[in-house]
A and B are shown apart, each in its own frame.
Chain A
Amino acid sequence: MERIGLRIRLLKFFNRHPHTKAFGILLPCMFWIGVFFLLPLVFMATYSFLERALYGGVQLIFTWENYTRFVDPLYLKILLRSFRISFLTTVILLIIGYPMAYRIAMADKRWRNILLFLVVLPFWTSDLIRTYAWMLILRDTGLLNFLLQYLHVIKKPLTLLYTEGAILLGLAYVYLPFMVLPLYASIEKLDRSLLEAAEDLGATPFWRFLKVTVPLTKSGILAGSLLVFIPSVGAFIVPDLLGGAKAMMIGNLVQLQFGPSRNWPFGSAASFILMTIVLLAVFTYLRFAGGKEAMEEAR
């Protein structure tokens, strides 16, 4: 009885003050973001300006050092590599994912769901396990080298594992669905009569793709690129397992600082630098690749 009374009183309050209604609905959501996202962020920001304690944690002494330390060529190289690899992953996935999404979207209705199911099927196992599987395939005594030697294509095993190439492969493999699904969604919505109209007006298939299909599926291209780029910049499982110590990415650096190195302040600073650069990159990308129109389209 007590609870129902409260509910009714609450509803009455919202009816009397309608503008508070939206706020009321958003409240749980805001609570969630506040506790699980903003609060840790504030902690991290604070940590990044403090000195490390010996066994993890921090000492309450202000310092810039965690940021200035980053200007070391060693760290800049890691940062640069992270962006290069993520950028290449995104480009590769656009090139692979677009035709894939296109074929799925144009396929028969019956096939479409089966194909989409196959695209998300890898999600059913952990990407840790899937990445281990790639290790078994790529290492010197792995499946690929064995096959190539067996077929007498090569004499000595190729170094495939622990290279940037291996990281690229692994990231592209893990993030493929993130590219294909948004692309599929936007291609599927594409009005077929527009494609016919383009052809009718004299556009060859290539021109039609460039001038009609791509601009009209821009929202999918933007979404897919961001969904791939952002997590791959910070990825650490794939570069850890397939890149090793030779091809470290910034995700590994951060993980290292919070883990074995026990340097939480430096790890926090690295995270913040990464976050700032990613945000800047994303905004620049949306601004130039998207333009005003795509923003509107995305609405």
Chain B
Amino acid sequence: MEFTVELNRVTKKFGDVVAADNVSLQIGRGEFFSLLGPSGCGKTTTLRLIAGFEEPTEGEIFINNENVRDKRPYERDVNTVFQSYALFPHLTVAGNIAFGLERKKTPRHEMGRLIEEALDLVRLKGMGDRYPRQLSGGQQQRVALARALVLKPEVLLLDEPLGALDLKLRKEMQLELKSLQEKVGITFIYVTHDQEEALTMSDRIAVMERGRLEQVGTPEEIYEFPKTRFVADFIGVSNFFSGQVIRAEGETLLVRTDGNLDVTLPLDHGFTEGQRVQFSIRPEKFSVGPQGKGRDGENELVGEIANRIYLGGSIHYVIALSAEEKVTVFLKNERTAGQQPSFSVGERVTVSWHRDDSVILGD
């Protein structure tokens, strides 16, 4: 596969703070790649390393298979949409967009056309003569985008570009950005701390924590098969269990949880008898009923409804399986005329899930 950006064991230290810790990444041409993680995990630092605003303490960065160690930011075929937009206040919208084009020695007549096209692309036609301060946040963000896109870089780096927008505008812009990226076919490296945003927009996601990459994968892989407790916790809601392996049996791993529940997990050859194991189950993987269905490979436990939150389209339950272990369960609202399969607090129910819906977590 052809990579536009490659990070090879990149570490960046600020004094004692390790902002990027041995990060290795390969990002393909035309990919929408997201860096996702909590505040301070090193997302911006990683972008700045690629853009050339920071030098790695260790490791190498390749852009188009070329080591960019000695390249200044203006020599890299990479453009950034800054978290703060960083529009030039003394230039009009058109002037901002022209800034990079002038440096590329674009002929005058062509420049006018390119600027018009760029404005059109971000739906700001006719706003070329305004100054940034005369625009709304969302419009400014789109100018920042147009300013970078007009240069047709190999890679566009976006640092939480939607962070300052309200929810509605944010959702709109997410869709716009995604379709824009598909249209222009540029590699996007997109920083966000919003997991939903990352899931909806990305081809692949890298989850970061304290400078380290926890997991890299498609949105589905990250959600369905989180590798670590951090990923399972950061993305969506998870129910965590820990326990001890009793034995391996056929395709299953028999485990007794710390709350004394016997459950089965998918077989993992890495585990032997007596070893500690941690696993998680997503809330929507459970089914709940008066009795179990007795399906093959199904775990069935009896519990008591401890809490019920009615959300309209879905109902969330907290069900106590043992003294210490409670699970959160999301059920679709299946109420239809004359039928109401809903449970009330205090009711005893059977909670069941398939063993393959449990995900064993590393550290």
Contact = CB atoms under 8 A, between A and B. Distances in A.
Interface residues of B, number: 22
Interface in A183-227: 191, 193-194, 196-204, 207, 211-212, 215-216
Interface in B69-99: 72-74, 78-80, 82, 84, 86-90, 99
- Interface centre among B53, B87, B99, by most chain A C-beta atoms within 10 angstroms, is B99
Given A201-B100, A202-B151, A196 B74 contact: no
A181 to B, nearest CB: 22
Contacts of A65: none
A197 B90 contact: no
A201 B51 CA distance: 11
Nearest to B100: A201
A199 B87 CA distance: 13
Contacts of A194: 86, 88-89
Interface string B104-131: 1000000000000000000000000000
Interface in B128-157: 147-148, 151
Contacts of A215: 90
A298 to B, nearest CB: 13
Contact of B89 (A200, A201, A211, A216): A216
Contacts of A201: 74, 79, 99-100, 103, 147-148, 151
Given A201-B103, A201-B147, A202-B103, A196 B90 contact: no
A194 B88 CA distance: 7
A212 B89 CA distance: 10
A193 B99 contact: no
A202 B88 contact: no
A193 B148 CA distance: 15
B54 to A, nearest CB: 11
Contacts of B104: 202
Contact of A197 (B72, B78, B88, B103): B88
A194 B147 CA distance: 13
B103 A196 contact: no
Contacts of A199: 53, 72-74
**Residue of A201, A202, A211, A297 contacting most chain B CB atoms (<10 Å):** A201
Contact of A196 (B82, B99, B100): B82
A196 B84 contact: no
A290 to B, nearest CB: 12
A197 B82 contact: yes
Contacts of B51: 200
Contacts of B89: 194, 216
A200 B85 CA distance: 12
Contacts of B78: 200
Nearest to A208: B74
Contacts of A202: 74, 100, 103-104, 151
B74 A197 contact: no
B140 to A, nearest CB: 13
Nearest to B51: A200
B90 A207 contact: no
Contacts of A211: 99
Contacts of B88: 194, 197-198, 212, 216
A216 B86 CA distance: 13
A241 B174 CA distance: 70
Contacts of B53: 196, 199-200
A297 B82 CA distance: 24
A216 B103 CA distance: 19
Given A207-B103, A211-B99, A200 B90 contact: no
Nearest to A216: B90
B72, B78, B89, B104 pick with most chain A CB within 10 angstroms: B89
B86 A203 contact: no
Greatest chain B CB density within 10 A among A191, A194, A207 is at A194
Contacts of A198: 88, 99
A193 B86 CA distance: 6
B73 A200 contact: yes
Contacts of B86: 191, 193-194, 196-197
Contacts of A212: 88
Contacts of B147: 201
A222 to B, nearest CB: 14
A198 B147 CA distance: 11
A193 B48 CA distance: 12
Nearest to A196: B53
Interface string A283-296: 00000000001000
Contacts of A193: 82, 84, 86
B318 to A, nearest CB: 45
A109 to B, nearest CB: 15
Interface in A249-287: none
Contacts of B74: 199-204
A211 B100 CA distance: 11
Nearest to A193: B86
Contacts of B82: 193, 196-197
- Of A191, A193, A297, chain B has the most CB atoms within 10 Å of the CB of A193
A204 B79 CA distance: 14
Interface of B: 51, 53, 72-74, 78-80, 82, 84, 86-90, 99-100, 103-104, 147-148, 151
5 contacts: A193-B82, A193-B84, A200-B74, A201-B100, A207-B103
